[in-house]
């Protein structure tokens, strides 16, 4: 075992001296040996890595995340409103490595945890339930990879990396745009789906998406959303893509955008990253107060009015990339996101007005680390009781 391997093993046990830690992080931050970094991440994942393809992919995801963050300094600590602190890329390596180590523990102990009545509070993961047109329900969380079902000439497959794919296998089948499937993620769940037209959809926690089994034969591509999802819509000028959520309709021809339409939020937020979309209010089937968004803009629908604002789009879709990113965000809004992802209840004690935070942390951190980081600002305090998080001023 060479020096780097020895130092990484000590790092994993939190036994490195300050000098050793500085040397190790600088070694990887300088990009001296990418193979060594991958090798050591694999070692820390343990034997489970050898037989679990998901852990194999996680190594690559963590590795790519590290490389990306080395080139772009990342805010890894929450801070009070308007305060600015940044950490070097080395600190991000610690964060990303910690993700991998935690995931190994979580994966190996998940079955035991499910047997315990008072389950520990852990981050969410790939969890979803699929309901077919005939009413059959398929638990995507525990189903095996491969073909799951075949309806009206459409094959539904779960891939090794936890995605749901729809593929047309028989072009001569009766058009199936009148047959609907629904995918639902629970609190603490997320999932990705590829629709038959090539559109990709990422579903956040506590989200439901209803969509036709196929768009073939339909004049438009229409889906219904509750919750939050990020869309990369396949281009098709002859068949507009429409997303219906509450009393809002978003129409696109081919673009990337995010919609936040949770029932417990006061408004619907539609954020455009690429292309153009039309956001309209639906009132008894009629459209009113419609707005055309440009990239970098967000439409906020509240009280039957649409406001368009410039927005940090990277922060709005950070959830899709495995992060919580807050930009002067009120504590109540932050804790709603925490409640959905960690599947906990939130209780407030005291005045929460004018308490806002900015910063970015991994969604795969233990909830205690997230709360402790916010608590370090001396703006709010937290107490965990079972699956309740108490927020105190």
Coil vs helix vs strand at 105 = helix
CA angle 284, 288, 289 (to 5 degrees): 150
On whether the CB atoms of residues 346 and 380 are closer than 8 A, the answer is: no
**CA–CA distance, 272 with 231 (Å, rounded to integer):** 10
Domain 322-392 falls under CATH 3.55.50.30? yes
Amino acid 222: pLDDT: 94
End-to-end CA distance of the chain: 50
In this prediction the pTM is 0.70
Question: Residue 315: which pLDDT band, with cuts at 50, 70 and 90?
Answer: very high
Confidence of residue 2 (pLDDT cuts 50, 70, 90): confident
pLDDT at residue 75 tops 50: no
- Which tokens go with 31? 């990009």
> pLDDT digit string (tens) for 85-119?
333 334 444 444 444 444 444 444 444 444 433 46
Q: How many other C-beta atoms can be found within 10 angstroms of the C-beta atom of residue 270? A: 25
**Which residues, in sequence order, are CB contacts of 275 under 8 Å at separation 6+?**
233, 252, 253, 254, 255, 256, 257, 295
Find the helix packing angle between 18-29 and 89-115, rounded to 10°: 100
For residue 360, which of 20, 67, 79, 16 has the smallest C-alpha distance?
79
Q: Which 8-state DSSP code applies to residue 177?
A: T
Written as six digits, the tokens of 183 are 């995918």
278 vs 280: CA distance, rounded Å: 6
* Tokens of residue 296, six digits: 């970098």
CATH of domain 125-314: 2.60.120.1440
Taking residues 312-324, report their average pLDDT: 94
- CA 36 to CA 262: how far, in whole Å? 43
pLDDT of residue 284: 66
- Residue-wise pLDDT tens digits, 113-170: 444 334 678 899 999 999 999 999 999 998 999 999 988 788 999 998 889 999 887 7
pLDDT of residue 95: 45
Domains 125-314 and 322-392 equal at CATH topology level: no
In the chain, count H helices and then E strands: 9, 25
Radius of gyration from C-alpha coordinates of the chain: 22
Q: At what angle do helices 89-115 and 34-45 cross, to 10 degrees?
A: 20
Domain ranges across the chain: 3-115, 125-314, 322-392
* Res 200 pLDDT > 80: yes
Instruction: Find the angle CA(104)-CA(359)-CA(373) to the nearest 5 degrees.
Output: 60
300 — pLDDT class (breaks 50, 70, 90): very high
Report how far residue 70's alpha carbon sits from residue 68's, in angstroms, rounded to the nearest whole number: 6
């Amino acid at each position: 075992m060479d020096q780097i391997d020895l130092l990484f093993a000590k790092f994993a046990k939190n036994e490195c001296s300050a000098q050793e830690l500085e040397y190790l992080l600088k070694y990887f931050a300088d990009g001296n040996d990418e193979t060594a970094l991958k090798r050591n991440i694999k070692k820390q994942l343990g034997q489970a890595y050898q037989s679990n393809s998901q852990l194999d992919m996680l190594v690559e995801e963590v590795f790519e995340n590290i490389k990306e963050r080395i080139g772009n300094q990342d805010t890894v600590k929450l801070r009070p409103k308007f305060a600015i602190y940044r950490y070097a890329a080395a600190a991000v390596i610690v964060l990303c490595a910690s993700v991998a180590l935690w995931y190994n523990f979580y994966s190996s102990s998940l079955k035991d945890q499910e047997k315990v009545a008072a389950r520990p509070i852990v981050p969410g993961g790939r969890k979803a339930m699929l309901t077919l047109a005939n009413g059959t329900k398929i638990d995507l969380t525990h189903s095996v990879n491969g073909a799951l079902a075949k309806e009206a000439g459409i094959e539904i497959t779960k891939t090794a990396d936890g995605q749901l794919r729809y593929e047309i296998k028989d072009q001569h089948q009766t058009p199936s745009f009148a047959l609907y499937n629904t995918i639902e993620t629970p609190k603490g769940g997320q999932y990705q789906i590829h629709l038959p037209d090539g559109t990709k959809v990422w579903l956040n926690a506590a989200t439901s998406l209803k969509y036709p089994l196929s768009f073939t034969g339909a004049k438009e591509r229409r889906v219904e959303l509750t919750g939050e999802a990020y869309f990369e819509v396949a281009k098709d000028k002859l068949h507009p893509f429409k997303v219906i959520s509450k009393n809002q309709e978003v129409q696109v021809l081919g673009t990337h955008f995010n919609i936040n339409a949770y029932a417990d939020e006061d408004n619907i937020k539609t954020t455009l990253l690429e292309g153009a979309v039309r956001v309209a209010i639906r009132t008894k089937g009629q459209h009113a107060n419609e707005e055309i968004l440009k990239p970098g803009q967000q439409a906020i629908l509240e009280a039957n009015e649409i406001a368009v604002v410039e927005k940090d789009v990277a922060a709005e879709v950070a959830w899709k990339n495995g992060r919580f990113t807050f930009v002067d965000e009120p504590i109540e809004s932050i804790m709603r996101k925490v409640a959905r992802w960690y599947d906990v209840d939130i209780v407030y004690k005291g005045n929460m007005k004018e308490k806002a935070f900015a910063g970015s942390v991994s969604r795969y951190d233990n909830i205690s680390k997230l709360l402790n980081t916010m608590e370090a600002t001396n703006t709010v305090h937290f107490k965990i009781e079972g699956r309740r998080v108490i927020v105190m001023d």
